[in-house]
Amino acid sequence: MGTADVRVKFKSRKHDLTVSTIALVILMLFEDLKDDDFLTYEVSRTPHPDRVQNMAHLFQLKGNQKGHQPP
């Protein structure tokens, strides 16, 4: 992932920030909030089916490389 330079305003002060791409996405969630609005989130311990499938593929690839010697 990369980084982004962004100018933000907190209350009456402006700040120039360099943040990671994921941090920028999170900051953008707050862009259109009014003063009395808020965001909520929920943490789920159940993995997404695509994530489970992707992890299974990665483990399979890692297992196939055990006996492999680099050229």
pLDDT of 6 strictly over 50? yes
Q: How far is Cα of residue 63 from the mean position of the Cα atoms in its chain?
A: 28
pLDDT of 71 strictly over 70? no
pLDDT for the residue numbered 16: 94
Mean pLDDT in residue range 32-47: 78
Q: Which residue has the tokens 């120039």?
A: 16
Separation between Cα atoms, residue 60 and residue 52, nearest integer Å: 12
Separation between Cα atoms, residue 29 and residue 71, nearest integer Å: 48
Mean pLDDT in residue range 38-58: 73
So where are the chain's domains? Answer: 1-32
